[in-house]
A and B are shown apart, each in its own frame.
Chain A
Amino acid sequence: MRRVIAFFALMLIADAACALDTIEVERGMTGELSFTYDGPPLVTTQQDLAAPLLLRLEHAGEHRYTAWFIGSVEGEYDLRSLIRTRAGQAPPDLPALPVTVISNLPDTFATDLYDAADLRVGIKGGYARLMLALGVIWLAIPAAVLLRRIMRPKVVEPVEEVVPEPTLVERLRPLIRAAADRELSVPEQGRLELLLMHHWRERVAPSAADIAESIAVIRHHPDAGEVLEAVERWLHHADRGTHDPDRLIAILDRVARTSEREPTAAGGGALA
């Protein structure tokens, strides 16, 4: 029985001790404190929004009040200092209403939300030096490249020896020589015919609209026409044996010599 009485006595003491403790609220969080006051009706004082603690008072009926507060700077405050009667006087007999605003930030950090003293970045420190260094590098790199180009010894490119395109004669000669010695292969025969045709197109029909028209012009030319027909009969006729190859080669040789004496503007009939 004694133990039970002692327990309840301890509980009452602990409860009384809690009532005396201040209410702890984190910065920026709303705290609530209820109290009774049977004096004249209470109101809050004129408050500045930048004040470290703001208070709103709610009359909850009879003599009960609820105080809502929010702190922006850590510290201990007494809400009583922010409460007045409607007449503007400090309420008599109102007990202290202690509250504590705590901060979770480290001690070295400022806790004033409105204390934005000087947000400009200082340029006297390492930042300025860093920017200066970067600027120097930014200018130095192109300057170095430019300097290197100026200082580089000029390389004299070797002049390529221009090899002139082989002329028609230079192309025809080996084929005519080969034709005199042996039977030309099919590609050689084709090349010989097309070279001759190109030769005459340049000389006889330079203004023809197309190749077929130029060949038709060549065919009617007194000299070229005869040679063209002889070559065509030699290369394309079914009975090639009846033609005199030596005579034809002599004609072709004459054509080559003529071409040598009268080169065209295109360089003597060079072919691709």
Chain B
Amino acid sequence: MTDTTTHNGEAVKQAEFARIVREHVAQTVVGQAAVVDRVLIALLTGGHLLLEGVPGIAKTLLVQAVGRTISLDFKRIQFTIDLLPSDIVGSEILDQQSGTFRVHKGPIFTNLLLADEINRASPKVQSALLEAMQERRVSIGDETHTLPAPFLVIATQNPVEQAGTFELPEAQLDRFMLCHRLTYPTPDEETEVVRRSLKLRLKRQGDGAVPMTAFDAITDDDRLHVADLSDAMAKVQEVHVSEVFVRDCVELINRTRDHEHIELGCSPRASLALVQASRARAFIYGRNYTVPEDLFALAEDVILHRIRLTYEALADGRRPREVLRSLLESIA
């Protein structure tokens, strides 16, 4: 996590960082290029990412592959109804040998945290995680602990199965820089997934054996390091954002507040997220300046989870995506 060796001993150049991550992840995960880009954007900007999608589309595999590629410490928490804040943050436990309390740090002390099915946990647990995401430090007992850097939460939620879940309120959704909606792979991609799975062999464990999974196929060859990520993050901060681009972003976000079908528009945090995410996207695509294409490509992921339609619009059968598209068309 603190290794400062850079890739092949050279400074990772702009776009090469993204290319290496993409190629490395593609060895394990088929397709999902847009999700890899979103994970990279979140990593490069220090934002957090919410992934919405049905189970079984390689969310965990993808995040683990990205983490392994950049040598990030990775932890996964399956959120359930009986999870407690201390299960995430940690707690003080009594050391019976010394008779004193010592801090037991929870799984949140990692670089890359996958919060699987975040909407299954109670609001108390959700808010504990979201506070940590915002402040990047947690309090255990009387002590405050700073979370490792980089710290990125990738939360997932299943948009279909809503029974027994606690929907994240708008104020907490706003903490996620991006919310990306995953789709099923194309038939060609799915065929490739099956082909790859057929190549997996058995993994020997002593005298026994278990079938290998895609997780076992993640390699550690040609890996990047945290220092490479930090260099890339510094380069993202150098990406130029023109006055014209800032005006376009602010104009779009402002229009969400005045739209007839939108009850709750975006906060200024959305403007910041849009500009920062666009910077990272420009970096990934090898530019040192943002262009409107970045704005249009990321608008859905930045805005859609931050707006709430009016009751009348919902009753008319309108969907947030349609309303956002009409907004984008109005400025483009």
Residues of A within 8 A of B (CB): 186-187, 189-190, 193-194, 197-198, 201, 210-212, 215-216, 219, 232-233, 235-238, 272
Measured between beta carbons, the chain A residues less than 8 angstroms from B330 are 272
Q: How far is the CB of B143 from chain A (nearest CB, A)?
A: 44
Q: Are A238 and B289 also in contact (CB < 8 A) when A194-B331, A194-B332, A272-B330 are?
A: yes
Measured between beta carbons, the chain A residues less than 8 angstroms from B244 are 186, 189-190, 193, 235-236
Pick out which of these stretches binds chain A: B10-18, B64-72, B216-224, B292-300.
Answer: B292-300
Cβ–Cβ contact A210 & B296, under 8 A:
yes
Least CB separation from A271: chain B residue: B332
Interface 0/1 of B308-332, CB less than 8 Å to A: 0000000000000000010011111
Complex CA gap A187/B242 in Å reads: 12
Cβ–Cβ contact B240 & A238, under 8 A:
yes
Cβ–Cβ contact A216 & B293, under 8 A:
yes
Q: Is B291 an interface residue (CB 8 A)?
A: yes
Q: Are A215 and B289 also in contact (CB < 8 A) when A190-B248, A235-B242 are?
A: no
Complex CA gap A194/B296 in Å reads: 12
Complex CA gap A190/B242 in Å reads: 10
Cβ–Cβ contact B247 & A186, under 8 A:
yes
Cβ–Cβ contact B329 & A211, under 8 A:
yes
Q: Are A210 and B325 also in contact (CB < 8 A) when A187-B247, A198-B332, A236-B240 are?
A: yes
Measured between beta carbons, the chain A residues less than 8 angstroms from B291 are 232, 236
Measured between beta carbons, the chain B residues less than 8 angstroms from A210 are 296, 325, 328
Measured between beta carbons, the chain B residues less than 8 angstroms from A190 are 244, 247-248, 251
Q: Is B256 an interface residue (CB 8 A)?
A: no
Q: How far is the CB of A168 from chain B (nearest CB, A)?
A: 13
Measured between beta carbons, the chain A residues less than 8 angstroms from B242 are 235-237
Q: Are A212 and B248 also in contact (CB < 8 A) when A237-B240, A238-B288, A272-B330 are?
A: no
Cβ–Cβ contact B245 & A236, under 8 A:
yes
The 8 closest A-B pairs by CB, nearest first: A238-B240, A212-B297, A212-B296, A236-B242, A215-B293, A211-B296, A236-B289, A232-B291
Measured between beta carbons, the chain A residues less than 8 angstroms from B332 are 194, 197-198, 201, 211
Cβ–Cβ contact B296 & A215, under 8 A:
yes
Measured between beta carbons, the chain B residues less than 8 angstroms from A216 are 293
Q: Is B243 an interface residue (CB 8 A)?
A: yes
Least CB separation from B328: chain A residue: A211
